[in-house]
Amino acid sequence: MDLEARAIPAHIVFMSVTKFKNIKPLPPRLPATQFWGLCFIVYLVLQVPIARIPIMFLSTWAHELGHGLGAIFTGGRFSELTVFPNFSGLAQTATSNDFQRVMVILLGLLGPSLLGVLMIVLTRALNWYRVAIVVLAVLLAISQIWAADSFTRTTLAVGMIVLALIAWKVPNQAVLYVSHILAIALCLNALTGFGYFFIGSGQVGGSVYQSDTAVMADILFGPYWFWGGIIAALSIIILFLGVVLSDKWARKKDDKLPSSRFG
């Protein structure tokens, strides 16, 4: 049976070519010098108290969400998540054994570091900078399930809306930098937030509670500062490996890109 060849109409070819010409290529990864330079700039900016506010909120939220997810992952229950105006926080969980309680504490303390590394991997290693913003917005939205008061619900909603608008409307080049700044700031804030690991108690929402490391010491053995040191060291290892390996992966990918010369 003979097949009849059909010519594609010229106007369809023209429209297809025009469509592809209008697709803007994604920005390349940040060069290593820009990435590490941005790390230094973000560190300096975070020394200004007002500039730390969004990152302090995200870090507290990540800490309390880590507690809650630790309960869920080990078969417990996550009831409430509260972020107070002074950026302290509280997670209400229900557990039935010491293993669950230890995992709740551990994932809460590692929460900010894990979130920072997740953002670094998505932005620096994979170059999925817009995906990183969307993931952060989705996590904030899901957290509304456990929000315990109006301040927590409002701050979660504002953060989600702002991030969603950035992911949806902001041009690629700007989103590239915004996602990197958020990722770097979260990692740096995690590195400077280890002081909480080395206190026995603290005031949260007007009430005094044992610190997470003090509770861990009661469950296991030894003083709270011993567990604070172990978890701080683990956080540093997670952050170091996440940032360094992501940068190494990015450099490897950039080296494989074809180079061109133009006269």
Could you report the per-residue pLDDT of 168-210, keeping only the tens digit for each?
999 988 999 999 999 999 999 888 888 888 888 776 766 777 8
In degrees and rounded to multiples of 5, residue 111 shows phi and psi of -55, -50
User: What's the mean pLDDT in 14-20?
Assistant: 40
For residue 29, is it within any domain? no
The mean pLDDT value of the chain amounts to 85
- Distance, in Å, from the CA atom of 111 to the CA atom of 151, rounded to the nearest integer, reads 21
Name the β-bridge partners of 202: 209
- Distance, in Å, from the CA atom of 176 to the CA atom of 174, rounded to the nearest integer, reads 5
Percentage of residues of the chain with pLDDT beyond 90: 65
Look up residue 190 and give its amino acid. Answer: A
Residue range(s) defining the domain that contains residue 72:
42-254
Judging by DSSP bridges, how do beta strands 207-210 and 77-83 pair with one another?
A: unpaired
pLDDT of residue 210: 82
- List, in sequence order, every beta strand (DSSP E) within the chain: 77-83, 89-94, 201-204, 207-210
pLDDT of residue 252: 85
For residue 259, is it within any domain? no
pLDDT of residue 236: 93
Q: Is the pLDDT of residue 141 over 70?
A: yes
pTM above 0.85, yes or no: no
Instruction: Judge contact between 133 and 175, C-beta under 8 A.
Output: yes
DSSP letter at 120 equals H
- Distance, in Å, from the CA atom of 213 to the CA atom of 211, rounded to the nearest integer, reads 5
Reduced to 3 states, what is the DSSP secondary structure of residue 209? strand
Q: Give me 90's structure tokens.
A: 């509280």
For residue 231, is it within any domain? yes
For residue 96, is it within any domain? yes
Q: Give 157-167 pLDDT, tens digit per residue.
A: 999 999 999 99
Q: Which of 43, 33, 34 is nearest to 186 (CA)?
A: 43
Q: Give me 208's structure tokens.
A: 């005094």
Query: Which sign, positive or negative, has the C-alpha torsion 174, 137, 90, 191?
Result: negative
- Distance, in Å, from the CA atom of 134 to the CA atom of 163, rounded to the nearest integer, reads 7
Number of domains observed in the structure of the chain: 1
Q: Is the pLDDT of residue 58 over 60?
A: yes
pLDDT of residue 25: 54
For residue 103, is it within any domain? yes
pLDDT of residue 120: 94
229 Cβ contact list (under 8 Å, min separation 6): 197, 198
Give the position of tokens 């567990």: 227
Confidence band of 263 (pLDDT split at 50, 70, 90): very low
